[in-house]
Amino acid sequence: MSASAEGRVAAPWRVAGDHLLLHIRATPRAGRDGFEGVETQADGKSVLRVRLKAAPVDGGANDALRRLIRSQLGLKLNQIEIVSGETSRTKTVRLPLSALEALAAMTGG
């Protein structure tokens, strides 16, 4: 596990220039939309767990993910870009650096 001396899980994002790369583990077809917290995967990478009601059909779950991030972080849809994992449960999402404070508060990081 990648935890600090206090037992905290590492943040699920990294700063890359003028933006953030947020690592997500999505669960489609869930009972509700929402963030479920941060977890460390077997490979040591921290991810933000996200539940989505939408099915992963025709980009529906990806659209739902972008809308959820928009509503929780106060961003515009055009500021949220899925840069890897379009067809996978594990995704990397590019966000503006201005989202760092809200993201840290939301995830306890």
pLDDT at residue 107, as a whole number: 82
Tens-place pLDDT, residues 5-61: 445 678 999 999 999 999 999 999 999 999 999 999 999 999 999 999 999 999 999
Domain ranges of the chain: 13-98
pLDDT at residue 20, as a whole number: 97
pLDDT at residue 106, as a whole number: 86
pLDDT at residue 14, as a whole number: 96
What mean pLDDT do residues 62-82 have?
Answer: 97
pLDDT at residue 8, as a whole number: 66
Helix (H) or strand (E) holding 65: helix 60-73
The bridge status of strand 46-51 relative to strand 19-27 is parallel
The verdict on domain 13-98 having CATH code 3.40.630.30 is: no
Q: Count each helix (H run) and each strand (E run) in the chain, helices first.
A: 2, 6
